[in-house]
Chain A
């Protein structure tokens, strides 16, 4: 036997006896989760940035700008199919999907998780995001992934994979065909596809052909939906709307958007208390209701609303003092909240098109 053969055989035999310790696998899995978190928080930070710029641009000198507090370190926790089905947001997401694409009722939930919060325990903080992945049993293995905002219940991302036959993936279709498929998906999931201006371009990606499709509301600069098409996947991201979004001009005066109360009303904790999305809140206010009335219709008291808003504003103020943006006044948080109450009251009892 030659030395070469001997070494080859020996190495293969020895390799057979080497088992990778599970600790290593666990560690690598953790590294991947951390990577995912970073990736996701980059997306939310991007959204926050857009929201932040808008909010900063419409600051009024008297109001304290409530910057969203930085996300604490979040962990993604797996959920069982059962947990998804009893979770308020999870259930609502599935219902939306089932009514949009009835065939998905027979799909299996192959993966589900939530980011931050604890959806199994509603007394704790709400999850920032719930993700559900469903896959067709057999067939072409159609897959759909939904990421829902745990606070507003809006579906922030939809990922549709393998809905085209393998031999003719979505990217191989003509531009018109691709647009039609994406239009259909957005229209089914969100509706109103016709009201957006549309643009499509090919990305400079040397590794893989990728298209970016933007759907923009008339007169707006940032797209409302941004879609990437690659391989056999369509991924839609909701950029407009959303909790940190550029919803602005909650009220109007003389038919013009009135930004006075925006810094108070753009409050995630308020949306979660009222179980309402910013867009919905704006619609309700436009009907001439006050925030207090909207809260009452949801069995939320005036005091609860004041507490939530005043708390956010006071925290923002403390934060700004610590950052040295405004002079320190050494009041306790409770004192600040008290001082803010009259302002908050003015906002939540205000009705659109009435004088301030």
Chain B
């Protein structure tokens, strides 16, 4: 079984087996990098967060739940480090946030919003415009296909909170991309 094999690799890597580290890195780095890129906007920060994630990997096995698949543990590490980074850079981040809001306004000034179905670039921008909390839920839901319950476990928050963030995020995307009238909070059949 894949997860068992990954767990063995992990223990070997922690014992100091360089070969195991290489194999583990090879198997995970693309997924980790892409997830981090979706959640962290600046290249230098991505590098720092990536490094932190791997450093956690060989210092903590304690929270590994063998009943869950390996990638669940891996994404848990990713999420925790991304969140740590956000808290750490909160001040700086606030400044970016403001810059982003300004540039966004300029952007609206230059290009009137397109009313057709969103192009790729627009989807990207719409996702970027979400709050961090909403964005995290969207990435876990659609890029990693976790159920809302799993996302609640990963983020360590109640299911209700996940649901409301998820709906709020979808609303915002609808609004920005399709310019659809806001729907009431109601069931979405896709989970």
Stretch at the interface among B25-33, B81-89, B97-105, B107-115: B25-33
Set of chain B residues within 8 Å of A10, measured between Cβ atoms: 120, 123-124
Given A6-B123, A20-B29, answer yes or no on A11-B47 (Cβ-Cβ < 8 Å).
Answer: no
Any chain B CB within 8 A of the CB of A57? no
A20, B33: Cβ atoms under 8 Å?
yes
A58 CA / B34 CA spacing, docked (Å):
59
What is the bound-complex CA distance between A14 and B177, given in angstroms?
17
Chain A residue at minimal CB-CB distance from B118: A6
Docked CA distance A39–B12 (Å): 13
Interface size on A, residues (CB 8 A): 38
In the bound complex, residues from chain A placing their C-beta under 8 Å from that of B124 are 10, 14
User: Is B178 touching A3 in the complex (CB atoms < 8 A)?
Assistant: yes
Interface string of A224-250 (1 = CB under 8 A from B): 000000110101000000000000000
Q: Max chain A CB contacts within 10 Å: which of B16, B33, B59, B127?
A: B16
By secondary structure, the A interface counts as helix
Q: A8-B142, A11-B143, A20-B30 are in contact. Are A28 and B120 (CB under 8 A)?
A: no
The answer on a CB contact under 8 Å between B51 and A7 is: no
Interface residue? A176 (CB, 8 A): no
B139 and A11 within 8 A (CB): yes
**Contact B29 A25, beta carbon cutoff 8 Å:** yes
Report chain B residues within 8 Å CB of A8.
142-143, 145
Q: Using Cβ atoms and an 8 Å threshold, which residues of chain A touch B139?
A: 11
Question: B38 at interface (Cβ–Cβ under 8 A)?
Answer: yes
Known: A20-B33, A208-B11. A3 touches B170 (CB 8 A): yes
Question: Given A6-B123, A20-B33: A36 and B55 within 8 A (CB)?
Answer: no
Query: Bound state CA distance, A12 and B16, in angstroms?
Result: 34
Q: Which residues of B contact A110 (CB under 8 A)?
A: 19
Q: Scoring B residues 135 to 147 as 1 if CB is less than 8 Å from chain A, else 0, what string do you get?
A: 0001100110100
Known: A4-B142, A28-B51, A39-B16. A14 touches B174 (CB 8 A): no
List the A side residues contacting B46 at CB < 8 Å.
Answer: 24
Contact of A28 with B66 at beta-carbon distance under 8 Å, contacts A11-B142, A23-B47, A110-B19 already known: no
Contacts of A190 in B (CB 8 A): none
Interface of B is mostly: helix
Residue A207 CB within 8 A of the other chain: yes
Instruction: Evaluate whether A28 and B54 lie within 8 angstroms (CB atoms) in the complex, with A7-B123, A7-B142, A111-B19 already known.
Output: yes
Q: B177: which A residues are within 8 A, CB to CB?
A: 3
Provide the B165-178 mask, 1 if CB < 8 A to any CB of A, else 0.
Answer: 00000100110011
Contact of A28 among B25, B43, B118, B143 (CB under 8 A): B25
Contact A18–B188 (Cβ < 8 Å): no
Query: Given A3-B178, A14-B120 in contact, is the A207-B143 Cβ separation under 8 Å?
Result: no
Closest residue on chain B to residue A135 by CB atoms: B19
Q: Are B47 and A24 in contact (CB under 8 A)?
A: yes
CB nearest neighbor in A for B26? A25
Contacts known (A20-B33, A32-B58, A110-B19); A4 close to B123, Cβ less than 8 A? no
Q: Is B72 an interface residue (CB 8 A)?
A: no
Shortest distance from the beta carbon of B75 to any chain A beta carbon, whole Å: 14
Query: Shortest CB–CB separation between residue B39 and chain A, in angstroms?
Result: 12
Nearest first, the 3 A-B pairs at minimum CB distance are A20-B33, A4-B190, A8-B142
Chain A residues proximal to chain B, CB less than 8 Å: 2-4, 6-8, 10-15, 18, 20-21, 23-25, 27-29, 31-32, 35-36, 39-40, 110-111, 113, 133, 145, 207-208, 230-231, 233, 235
